[in-house]
Structure 1
Amino acid sequence: MSLYSMWGALEIGLIFGLVALSVLLSFRILRFPDLTVDGSFPLGAAVAAVLIQADWDPFLATLMAVLAGALAGALTAWLNIRLKIMDLLASILVMIALYSINLRIMGAPNIPLIMEPTVFSVLQPEQGISDYVFRSLLMILIVVIVKCALDAYLATRSGLAMRATGSNPRMARAQGVATGGMVILGLAIANALCALGGALFAQSQGGADISMGIGTIVIGLAAVIVGESILSSRKLFFMTLAVIVGAVLYRFFVALALNADFIGLKAQDLNLITAVLVTFALVIPLLRKRLRTRGGN
């Protein structure tokens, strides 16, 4: 694998690290099976791309994309909490609706951003560093800031109430926690992170596409599972770190598999690679348990 491919895998892995944090918040912390991310990821890309093409500042366009993702997540939670629609079904309904909404926003199946200013092009220095290296370094900074902000929030009183809502909602309600509000806020934050990833992905790859959200939830879950298999801990700092590491490793494995000529894999085999990686990550804890059992005997 070339150096360019490695930097590219790091950049995309860090972008999907934001998606992994989103999945961690919804699936692990809130215990809410949220499939909205398959729609909020391209929603962030669509909003950012349309606004950038309309000569908006790319930072402001990215912020609007984040707000759009937060609204999508809040809508899913509202359907579940207020209308009593089953959590999984509520997220599926919003995900399906977002496909049409994204097409409405974009006005076409895809929007190119190759000649438009982006967060990456605006911040990049004119000399001294390659484009692909700078994008990866900027993504490291963004992901670190988001991770630290999420860690700090989840350590606050509101964050602890959200974690209690996911762990034991009945006990949380008994302690005076408004669990419905916590779910709405949690899913809003989760999908805002996913939309941020979509907005940055569109700006990194030079355009937004209506199909770019397909399989986002699978990638996010793969990152969470891979990360937890490698770095297993109940401490919040290591939990968030693990999913980011898992997302980066996932992209490295994919890039390595696609660039290994002797394996013969192609771009259309991406879903196959994902399935194999997730299966392997799920088997690792079982293998560890068996080895410990044998060692104890």
Structure 2
Amino acid sequence: MEFYLTALLQGFSFSALALGIFISMKIFNIPDITTDGSYTLGAVVTAVMITHHQPAYLILPAVIVAGGLAGALTGIIHTKLKINALLAGILVMTALYSVNLTLMGTSNLPLNNFPTLFNLVQISADPNHNTFWVVSAFVIVLIALIGYLLKTDFGIAMRATGNSESMIRSLGVNTDRMKITGLALANALTAVSGYLISQYQGFTDISMGIGIVIVGLGSVIIAETLINWFRITSVWLSLILVLTGAVIFRLVLSLTLDLGVDANLLQLVTAGFVLLIVSLPRLRLRTR
């Protein structure tokens, strides 16, 4: 049971990443590869500040700002220099590898002997249960904030920019600024996911972000499939399903390991699972 609780906690921690991918890919239709670098950046900033005994109330804002700056840089390169969004993300992600390595000064930073979010707040005597309640409260607040933002006039303008850029531009909205802000928000959320995961697993590694975009993409595709099946139009329910997608994704991978599949094949299983959930809706349409 503890094995699946771990998967659930990881799913909750990855929900911020899934929300970031949801904003960049589903709202703005931008395939943002900055994710791999900004996820690690969030973990690196967290680890460096914790090991330098910085107060907990400063760490999360620093992570959000760092991730936001990475996303904004991608947005500026894409909108102002007119470089393809995919290439802009790859360039920033590549640069962030050096930035992350320079900030850490080493390829790995352990956090086992330092206070983290999950042991500073004591809700339950059991460590796993305590982590569950802390991360659950964190994710609920996060979804509430993003849901509120997307329902405001600014959030509606963001969504309209992705749906019909020419139309919203004719109404006087600066679409370049919207894209920069949207990518900054998406990568800030991705960095928050790195903030949670680094503290949960007790270390930060320079390579922890490699391929992480597939986790967020898989979570969003699961959510999109459920949204289409149930014909959901509510922003709040869509965000909840993104969280559900992240949890389902981690539970499926945990089930795979529990069935005895070699851990070395986990990335292959991940790729296969994402391919399956991408293909299912198209296969159903073709059958009809």
* Alignment match of 1:153 (pick from 149, 168, 173): 149
Which blocks of at least 5 consecutive residues in structure 2 are unaligned?
A: none
CA displacement at 1:287 relative to structure 2: 4.3
Q: Which residue of 1 aligns with 2:258?
A: 259
CA displacement at 1:129 relative to structure 2: 3.2
Q: Is 1:54–2:52 an aligned residue pair? A: yes
Is the contact made by 1:43 and 1:102 (CA closer than 8 Å) also made in structure 2? yes
Q: What is the DSSP-based 3-state SS (H/G/I as helix, E as strand, rest coil) of the residue aligned with 1:111?
A: strand
Q: What is the DSSP-based 3-state SS (H/G/I as helix, E as strand, rest coil) of the residue aligned with 1:42?
A: helix
More displaced, 234-243 or 176-185? Answer: 234-243
Query: 1:1-297 counterparts in 2 under 5 A?
Result: 3-125=1-123, 128-232=124-228, 233-261=232-260, 265-289=261-285, 293=288
CA displacement at 1:227 relative to structure 2: 2.0
CA displacement at 1:132 relative to structure 2: 1.0
Alpha carbons of 1:171 and 1:138: their partners in 2 closer, same or farther (altered >3 Å)?
Answer: same
Q: What is the DSSP-based 3-state SS (H/G/I as helix, E as strand, rest coil) of the residue aligned with 2:106?
A: coil
Q: What is the DSSP-based 3-state SS (H/G/I as helix, E as strand, rest coil) of the residue aligned with 1:212?
A: coil
Which blocks of at least 5 consecutive residues in structure 1 are unaligned?
A: none
Cα deviation, 1:18-70, whole Å, max 9, x if unaligned, reads 10000000000011111101000010000010011111113321221111000
User: Aligned partners of 1:230 and 1:137: how far apart in 2?
Assistant: 26
Alpha carbons of 1:8 and 1:155: their partners in 2 closer, same or farther (altered >3 Å)?
Answer: same
Q: What is the DSSP-based 3-state SS (H/G/I as helix, E as strand, rest coil) of the residue aligned with 1:121?
A: helix
Is the contact made by 1:8 and 1:136 (CA closer than 8 Å) also made in structure 2? no
CA displacement at 1:145 relative to structure 2: 1.0
Identity of aligned residues (%): 40
Cα deviation, 1:157-206, whole Å, max 9, x if unaligned, reads 11111111111111111011110111111111110000011011101110
Q: What is the DSSP-based 3-state SS (H/G/I as helix, E as strand, rest coil) of the residue aligned with 2:93?
A: helix
CA displacement at 1:107 relative to structure 2: 0.5
- Letter aligned with residue 276 of structure 1: G
User: Aligned partners of 2:60 and 2:202: how far apart in 1?
Assistant: 14
User: Aligned partners of 2:122 and 2:94: how far apart in 1?
Assistant: 37
User: Aligned partners of 1:268 and 1:136: how far apart in 2?
Assistant: 28
- With the length of structure 1 as denominator, give the TM-score of the two structures: 0.93
CA displacement at 1:231 relative to structure 2: 3.7
Cα deviation, 1:209-243, whole Å, max 9, x if unaligned, reads 00000111111101111222234333322221221
Is the contact made by 1:72 and 1:188 (CA closer than 8 Å) also made in structure 2? yes
User: Aligned partners of 1:66 and 1:250: how far apart in 2?
Assistant: 25
Cα deviation, 1:252-279, whole Å, max 9, x if unaligned, reads 0111111113xxx122212111112112
Q: RMSD value over aligned CA atoms? A: 1.3
CA displacement at 1:115 relative to structure 2: 0.4
- Letter aligned with residue 289 of structure 1: L
- Letter aligned with residue 65 of structure 1: V
Is the contact made by 1:34 and 1:91 (CA closer than 8 Å) also made in structure 2? yes
CA displacement at 1:290 relative to structure 2: 5.3
- Letter aligned with residue 51 of structure 1: M
Q: What is the DSSP-based 3-state SS (H/G/I as helix, E as strand, rest coil) of the residue aligned with 1:139?
A: helix
- With the length of structure 2 as denominator, give the TM-score of the two structures: 0.95
- Number of residue pairs the alignment of both structures matches: 285
User: Aligned partners of 1:287 and 1:140: how far apart in 2?
Assistant: 35
